């Protein structure tokens, strides 16, 4: 199939077809699925279809276009449910909170087919990756439950030092404003929301810009599984909803995966900034450094995966490839050939890897980067590179890229692959040192002598050095974090539980009367916090 016909000849399998619009007519505030009667916004797919008027971006539904006062209602509900830490949810037994989250996971599993279908339509993610996103999220929830049980068991004892006993646990922080990204609208959002909830925080949750309707099948589960006010889900624009509620000072944690500019703008609105904890996953410009003593085929394969999985729309994507002068000709040839074998098409097509993009402005932006790179001496070195058909952009491989070009510096978050030649490894190392970002790097070499000094320098500048492998977040039990403008706080199954909680303790001098009171309290299981009970 020629690229031009990517949408024209599309056959939509029956089970993935959308026959009726998904009109999201309710929203969740204070435990009630309220009917929305105000203005709505259309939800456009990444995919263009021809329904009689030529190719048009398909409308797949509508969502409430909520306003400032709705955001305040959601915030007030979360604030009241937290009630300064005195509410039902923050004071509940950890075991009971775990049960709520487990019930949610069970209900969630039932929605898999629908959520996967919406992931494909809304953000153009291929079927296999959409399934993976769903399954990985469910696994993340169960792993979080297990991790919390383990750490709760470890905390279910009393420590004694200098004549003072203490029970030390982790407590919640308060109201969490939670906003996820469009590239992983389920997974990344839930990697914030679930640990925030399970640790006893209450939440105001605003879905990403794209990938909104896929939460509709889950609204019921949120409503049924959590006490009122614990999960409040609002629809609309971040500027309209998040800005006013940050200004109130009632948000204790800003949990956002997105852009550092929005994160900066929002955090500065908080009137009491020391009260605000930040859990942020932001931009990155992860480089690959391909050294002359690498396994070239392996390097090409990993660089291809790293730069173009989900069309390069991953914060962990390889966004610039530094390749040693001696092997660059061979590398480019092999890279371009491997790319030409990637299947493009619509998300449900078997084996498809390159798919349409959700952001309306992205094709034009990719072209700005191409034009700028060409004006500064680079070429598109692959056949069809940069070809656009509506929302689909065939990846453009640019070579030779240098520091005068925008694509050398900007996080493209899309299908354009800048390749830079180097003859001294100090130039990619300087790139990392001078970069505004510090998430990950990939090193390609088969020599321990080559790798060792690079590893030792790079671990102090980024937060994950991948050897002969692409950059990636997973497995989700590993710490996911970044330096500089790439992240604040660590997210992994275990670290996220820590990020959304604070250590708090009950301490007492070991006098006879204190021992008697505390023994009484423990024997009668009167406190949810001071307890030696083991969650099994
Ligand atoms: O967009 C950033 C994601 O966390 C990347 O996750 O490396 O598993 O694709 P991934």
Domain 286-475 has CATH 3.40.309.10: yes
Residue 200, token pair as written in the block: 């006893």
Q: Which atom of ligand 1 sits closest to the CA of residue 310?
A: 9
Q: Which residues contact 319 (CB under 8 A, 6 or more apart)?
A: 284, 285, 286, 287, 307, 312, 411, 412, 413, 418
* Max intra-chain CA distance, the chain: 85
- What's the average model confidence in pLDDT over 251-264? 96
d(Cα 159, Cα 162) in Å, to the nearest integer?
Answer: 10
Q: How far is the CA of 79 from the centre of ligand 1 (A)?
A: 31
Which atom of ligand 1 is least distant from the CA of 313? Answer: 1
When pLDDT is cut at 50, 70 and 90, the band that residue 410 belongs to is very high
Query: Helix or strand or coil: residue 66?
Result: coil
Among 137, 139, 184, 317, the mutation site with the greatest number of ligand 1 atoms within 8 A of its Cβ is 184
* CA 488 – CA 427 distance, rounded (Å): 27
Using alpha carbons, select from 172, 167, 169 the residue that is nearest to residue 84: 172
Quick one: which atom of ligand 1 is closest to the CA of 309? 9
* Through-space distance between the first and last CA atoms of the chain, rounded to whole angstroms: 55
Task: Please give the model's pTM, rounded to 2 decimal places.
Answer: 0.97
Rounded distance, CA 481 to CA 261, Å?
A: 18
pLDDT of 203 reads 98
Q: Is the separation of the CB atoms in 188 and 205 below 8 Å? A: no
| 286-299 per-residue burial string, b: 16 or more CB within 10 A, e: under 16 | bbbbbbbebebeeb
Mutate to test the pocket of ligand 1, among 192, 316, 318 (most ligand atoms within 8 A of CB): 316
Local structure of residue 534 (DSSP, 8 states): P
Looking at residue 243, what is its pLDDT?
97
Confidence (pLDDT) at 1: 75
CB contact burial 6-39 (16+ within 10 A = b; e otherwise)? bbeebeeeeeeebeeebbbebbbbbbeeeebeee
Q: Name residue, tokens 């399954």.
A: 135
Which position has the higher pLDDT, 11 or 110?
Answer: 110
Q: Which two tokens stand for residue 383?
A: 């056949």
Q: DSSP of 108-139, one letter per residue?
A: HHTTHHHHHHHHHHHH---HHHHHHHHHHHHH
Residue whose token pair is 């990517």 = 6
Tens of pLDDT, residues 353-405 = 999 999 999 999 999 999 999 999 999 999 999 999 999 999 999 999 999 99
Where does CATH 3.40.309.10 sit in the chain? 286-475
Paired tokens of 510: 């070991």
Q: What is the per-residue pLDDT for 332?
A: 98
| Phi then psi dihedrals of residue 61, to 5 deg | 170, -170
Q: Where in the chain is the domain with CATH 3.40.605.10?
A: 19-281
pLDDT-derived band at 57 (thresholds 50, 70, 90) equals very high
Q: How many CB atoms lie within 10 A of CB 409?
A: 16
Ligand 1 site residues (CB inside 6 A) read 183-184, 188, 314-316, 472-474
Distance CA 257, CA 192 (A): 9
- Token pair listed for 328: 């660059």
Q: Mind listing the pLDDT tens digit for each residue in 156-171?
A: 999 999 999 999 999 9
The residues near 133 (Cβ < 8 Å, ≥ 6 apart) are 119, 125, 184, 186, 187
d(CA 159, CA 6): 65
Per residue in 136-161, pLDDT (tens digit) is: 999 999 999 999 999 999 999 999 99
Measured in Å, residue 149 CA sits from the centre of ligand 1 at: 26
Q: Are 439 and 337 in contact (CB under 8 A)?
A: no
As given in the structure block, the two tokens for residue 166 are 């203490």
DSSP helix/strand/coil, 500? coil
User: How many whole angstroms from 177 Cα to the centroid of ligand 1?
Assistant: 21
In 3-state terms, what secondary structure has residue 339? helix
Residue 223's nearest CA partner among 502, 496, 32 is 32
Among 132, 133, 188, name the best residue to mutate to test ligand 1's pocket (greatest count of ligand atoms within 8 A of Cβ). Answer: 188
Q: DSSP class of residue 87? A: S
pLDDT at 95 over 90: yes
Sheet (strand 379-380) strand order: 379-380, 396-399, 416-422, 318-324, 286-290, 440-444, 464-467
E strands, 2-119, are: 22-23, 26-29, 32-35, 40-50, 55-64
Q: How far is the CA of 482 from the centre of ligand 1 (A)?
A: 13
Q: How many residues does the chain have?
A: 536
For 478-534, the pLDDT digits (tens) are 999 999 999 999 999 999 999 999 999 999 999 999 999 999 999 999 999 999 999
Q: Averaged over 321-350, what is the pLDDT?
A: 98
How many C-beta neighbours within 10 Å does residue 536 have? 6
Place of tokens 């009970």: 533
In 423-490, the DSSP E strands lie at 437-438, 440-444, 464-467, 483-484, 487-488
Query: What are the structure tokens assigned to 7, written together?
Result: 């949408």
The band of 46, judged by pLDDT with boundaries at 50, 70 and 90, is very high
Distance CA 320, CA 470 (A): 12
Q: What is the pLDDT of residue 10?
A: 84
Q: Which residues neighbour 405 within 8 Å (Cβ) at sequence distance 6 or greater?
A: 369, 372, 373, 376, 378, 398, 418
- Structure-token pair, residue 404: 């005068």
| Contact assessment for residue 444 and residue 468, using Cβ atoms and an 8 Å cutoff | yes
Distance CA 529, CA 507 (A): 12
> Rounded to an integer, what distance in angstroms lies between the CA atom of residue 125 and that of residue 133?
10
Task: State the pLDDT at residue 9.
Answer: 79
- At residue 466, the pLDDT reads 98
Rounded distance from Cα 443 to ligand 1 centre (Å): 18
CATH classification number, 19-281, choose in 3.30.1180.10, 3.50.50.60, 3.30.450.40, 3.40.605.10: 3.40.605.10
* 427 vs 1: which has the higher pLDDT: 427
- Rounded to whole angstroms, the Cα distance separating 50 from 131 reads 27
- How many Å apart are CA 140 and CA 473, to the nearest integer? 13
Q: Which residues pair with 441 in a beta bridge?
A: 465
Query: pLDDT tens digit string along 108-120?
Result: 999 999 999 999 9
Q: What percent of the chain has pLDDT over 90?
A: 99
- Per the prediction, the chain carries an average pLDDT of 97
Q: Closest Cα to atom 4, ligand 1: which residue?
A: 473
């Amino acid at each position: 199939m020629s690229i031009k016909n990517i949408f024209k000849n599309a056959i939509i399998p029956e089970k993935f077809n959308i026959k009726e619009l998904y009109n999201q007519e309710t929203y969740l505030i204070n435990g009630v699925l309220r009917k929305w009667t105000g203005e709505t916004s259309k939800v456009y797919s990444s995919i263009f279809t021809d329904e009689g008027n030529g190719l048009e971006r398909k409308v797949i539904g509508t969502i409430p276009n909520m306003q400032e006062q709705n955001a305040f209602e959601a915030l007030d509900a979360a604030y009241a449910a937290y009630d300064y830490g005195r509410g039902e949810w923050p004071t509940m037994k950890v075991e009971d909170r775990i049960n709520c989250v487990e019930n949610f996971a069970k209900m969630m599993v039932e929605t898999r087919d629908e959520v996967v279908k919406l992931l494909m339509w809304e953000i153009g993610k291929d079927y296999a990756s959409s399934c993976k996103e769903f399954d990985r999220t469910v696994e993340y929830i169960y792993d979080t439950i297990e991790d919390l049980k383990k750490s709760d068991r470890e905390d279910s004892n009393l420590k004694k030092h200098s004549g003072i006993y203490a029970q030390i646990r982790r407590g919640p922080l308060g109201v969490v404003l939670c906003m996820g990204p469009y590239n992983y609208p389920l997974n990344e959002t839930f990697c914030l929301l679930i640990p925030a909830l399970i640790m006893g925080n209450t939440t105001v949750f605003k879905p990403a810009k794209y990938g909104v309707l896929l939460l509709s099948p889950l609204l019921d589960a949120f409503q049924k599984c959590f006490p009122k006010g614990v999960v409040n889900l609002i629809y609309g624009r971040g500027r309209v909803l998040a800005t006013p509620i940050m200004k109130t000072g009632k948000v204790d944690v800003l949990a956002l995966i997105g852009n550092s500019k929005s994160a900066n703008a929002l955090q500065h609105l908080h009137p009491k900034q020391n009260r605000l904890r930040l859990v942020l996953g932001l931009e990155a410009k992860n480089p690959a450094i391909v050294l002359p003593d690498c396994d070239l085929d392996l390097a090409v394969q990993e660089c291809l995966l790293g730069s173009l999985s989900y069309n390069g729309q991953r914060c962990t994507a390889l966004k610039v490839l530094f390749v040693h002068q001696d092997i660059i000709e061979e590398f480019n040839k092999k890279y371009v050939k491997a790319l030409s074998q990637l299947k493009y098409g619509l998300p449900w097509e078997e084996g498809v890897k390159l798919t349409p993009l959700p952001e309306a402005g992205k094709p034009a932006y990719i072209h700005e980067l191409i034009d700028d790179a060409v004006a500064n001496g680079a070429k598109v070195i692959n056949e069809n590179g940069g070809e656009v058909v509506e929302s689909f952009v065939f990846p453009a491989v640019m070579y030779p890229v240098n520091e005068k070009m925008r694509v050398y510096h900007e996080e493209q978050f899309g299908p354009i692959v800048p390749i830079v030649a180097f003859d001294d490894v100090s130039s990619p190392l300087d790139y990392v040192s001078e970069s505004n970002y510090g998430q990950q790097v990939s090193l390609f070499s088969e020599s321990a002598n080559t790798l060792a000094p690079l590893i030792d320098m790079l671990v102090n500048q980024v937060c994950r050095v991948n050897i002969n492998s692409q950059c990636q977040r997973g497995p989700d039990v590993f710490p996911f974090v970044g330096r500089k403008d790439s992240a604040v706080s660590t997210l992994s199954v275990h670290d996220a539980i820590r990020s959304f909680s604070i250590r708090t303790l009950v301490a007492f001098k070991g006098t006879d009367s204190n021992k008697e009171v505390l023994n009484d309290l423990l024997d009668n299981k009167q406190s949810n916090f001071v307890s030696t009970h083991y969650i099994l």
